[in-house]
Amino acid sequence: MKRREFLQTTAAASVGTAFLSGLPIGAYGYSAQLAALTNATTVTDKVLVIIQLQGGNDGLNMIIPLDQYPALLAARSNIALPQAQVLPLTTATGIHPAMASLQNLYQNGKLGVVQSVGYPNPNFSHFRATDIWTSGSDSNVTWTTGWAGRYLDSEFPGYPTGYPSTANPDPLAISIGSVVSNCVQGPTVNMGMAIASTSSFYQLLSGGVDAAPNTPAGHELTFIRQVVSQTQVYTTAIQAAAGRAQNLSPLYPTAGQNSLADQLKIVAQLVAGGLSTRIYVCQLGGFDTHTLQVPSTGSTTVGTHATLLGKIAEAVNAFQDDLRRLAIQDRVVGMTFSEFGRRIRSNSGFGTDHGAAAPLLVFGTKVNPIVHGANPTLPTNAGVNDNIPMQFDFRSIYTSILKDWFQVTPTTLTQLFGQSFTYVPVLRPGAVTATASAAEVADFTVYPNPVARDGRTTVAYESAGGHVQIVVLDALGREVRRAVDQVLPRGSQLLPVDLHGLAPGAYYCQVREDRRTGSRIVVVE
């Protein structure tokens, strides 16, 4: 490539991407003045922080089903926590003792838990599963755009042409971390800028450039860095925002001890400094805990996974404290996600293998501080392939937050995601302008259960009058039957389910209707 061509392509790309401190950060900016000049759809000062837990977080070791401890111990005898040391959230549900500060946030109305979040027919590849979660696609469809990137593109059509401007000097999105999240990828360019590390963030503020070796390759690297620096079109805006605010919380750990806390500290500073950015993407890696999730000897309350959970809790707690002290806590909500959960049964290496659904955390003063959904139903004797079945589609969480926090219309949501998804009230009723009601558990029975070789069984369900789905999932969380998918009248329903042809074993039968969802184990003999 010729140097002139390199400059042209780099300059164009850098409008959507920048590097600060070595960590990628994604953020989106908005103001009433900007809306008037750029035809942005919605005027809002709200901020969404997305925390990506890379590697596949073990949800059963984070949010613990206290009402099913015998089955949990039978499946995880070598890694399970002592029941007495689990911190209660409700009488039925607890949280890992390393996350005591999050228990406190829950008790003070600043944390919500969504149980068993996943998608139909899950994929267990890190790369493909991450693509699915960040794009918002079905598991059998590949999209090259991110769900938040499409949202921003709908708000700011034509980006990056004309950006930044006097009226809109701030980045639309910021992503902080070693890998730029696909969440904010737009149809043609990334809709945000990236900060590669917290150290590069502070170099950006001071105007410094990383030193390169005195070699031919080093000289080329210096040239590239100079070009990137010259084309960091949002540098002035970020420097100005950072200069207008200082972090106030004493709860942040020493820099370098907790990378997630370091990232959230930057987010708080930029939000408090007036950067009109809507979405920030942060990340924490290390969750692929196939071995030594806990020590091979000693307490199961410590070890690799406990350390990671402790970092989440420490970072989020300090961040919330900082937002409160900076008087911006009502403007910010956050959520976590991981590309998948882990299997119900632990392995012989004191770890867990790739699984399906897992809990998701939402935090902030405007979240609905409850446990959404029921604890996952655990089989009495879980096999090596048994998984947590999905209760909530992850896109239901995305669309519900976009609807309530950013006031995106149902029509636009359907356009962004290609279909509509069940609403989940993860934010408080009226958090912005929307109203919401609590999620409900769908109660039903299956009989006979176990199911004989002819495969005939019946679901007895009290319908509220709406679109009802009855699906059957195998141990891996894959849909193997869809018995009902239609609008039913209000009242008692006896719905036949044909399981003929399924191999003997345990399956999950799920009923879904509007905000109601429930799951039961069904055994085919």
Residue 276 has pLDDT above 50, yes or no: yes
Residue 63 has pLDDT above 70, yes or no: yes
- Taking the C-alpha atoms of residue 482 and residue 471, their distance in angstroms, rounded to an integer, is 4
Only one residue has tokens 């911190």, namely 87
Helix 394-405, helix 147-155: angle, nearest 10: 30
At residue 34, the pLDDT reads: 34
Domain residue limits, the chain: 3-441, 444-524
DSSP class of 278 = -
At residue 513, the pLDDT reads: 80
The residue with greater pLDDT, 413 or 10, is 413
Phi and psi for 140 in degrees, rounded to 5?
A: -105, 15
C-alpha count within 13 angstroms, C-beta hemisphere, residue 71: 17
The residue with greater pLDDT, 219 or 192, is 192
- Taking the C-alpha atoms of residue 341 and residue 355, their distance in angstroms, rounded to an integer, is 5
Residue 442, Cβ neighbours under 10 Å: how many? Answer: 24
DSSP class of 114 = E
CA-based nearest residue to 41, from 32, 52, 53, 50: 32
Q: What is the pLDDT of residues 96-140, one digit of tens each?
A: 999 999 999 999 999 999 999 999 999 999 999 999 999 999 999
Residue 440, Cβ neighbours under 10 Å: how many? Answer: 16
Residue 410 has pLDDT above 70, yes or no: yes
Which residues neighbour 496 within 8 Å (Cβ) at sequence distance 6 or greater?
Answer: 456, 457, 458, 483
Given its phi and psi angles, is residue 277 left (phi above 0), alpha (psi -120 to 50 degrees) or beta? beta
At residue 416, the pLDDT reads: 97
Residue 403 has pLDDT above 60, yes or no: yes
392-393/111-118 β-pairing: parallel
Which residues neighbour 483 within 8 Å (Cβ) at sequence distance 6 or greater?
Answer: 459, 470, 471, 472, 495, 496, 497, 498
Q: What is the pLDDT of residues 26-58, one digit of tens each?
A: 333 333 333 333 344 566 789 999 999 999 999
- Taking the C-alpha atoms of residue 181 and residue 165, their distance in angstroms, rounded to an integer, is 25
Q: What is the pLDDT of residues 156-195, one digit of tens each?
A: 888 888 888 776 678 889 998 766 789 999 998 888 888 8
CA-based nearest residue to 42, from 55, 25, 29: 29
Percent of the chain whose predicted confidence (pLDDT) is above 70: 83
Query: Contacts for 235-241 with beta carbons within 8 Å, 24 or more apart?
Result: 235/18, 235/204, 236/169, 237/164, 237/169, 237/170, 237/171, 237/275, 238/20, 238/171, 238/204, 238/205, 238/270, 238/275, 239/204, 239/205, 240/273, 241/170, 241/269, 241/270, 241/273, 241/274, 241/275
DSSP element (H, E) containing 516: strand 516-524
- Taking the C-alpha atoms of residue 138 and residue 390, their distance in angstroms, rounded to an integer, is 14
Token pair for 420: 């509509």
Are the CB atoms for 88 and 371 separated by under 8 Å? no
- Report how many helices (DSSP H) and strands (DSSP E) the chain contains, helices first: 13, 20
Residue 13 burial (C-beta neighbours within 10 Å; 0-12, 13-18, 19+): middle
Residue 214 has pLDDT above 80, yes or no: no
Q: What is the pLDDT of residues 311-355, one digit of tens each?
A: 999 999 999 999 999 999 999 999 999 999 999 999 999 999 999
- Taking the C-alpha atoms of residue 523 and residue 506, their distance in angstroms, rounded to an integer, is 4
Q: What is the pLDDT of residues 481-496, one digit of tens each?
A: 889 988 899 999 999 9
Q: Is the pTM of this model over 0.85?
A: no
Q: What is 444-524's CATH number?
A: 2.60.40.1930
Token pair for 317: 């707690």
CA-based nearest residue to 357, from 391, 400, 396, 401: 391
- Taking the C-alpha atoms of residue 95 and residue 97, their distance in angstroms, rounded to an integer, is 6
- Taking the C-alpha atoms of residue 458 and residue 461, their distance in angstroms, rounded to an integer, is 10
At residue 330, the pLDDT reads: 94
Greatest CA separation found in the chain? 78
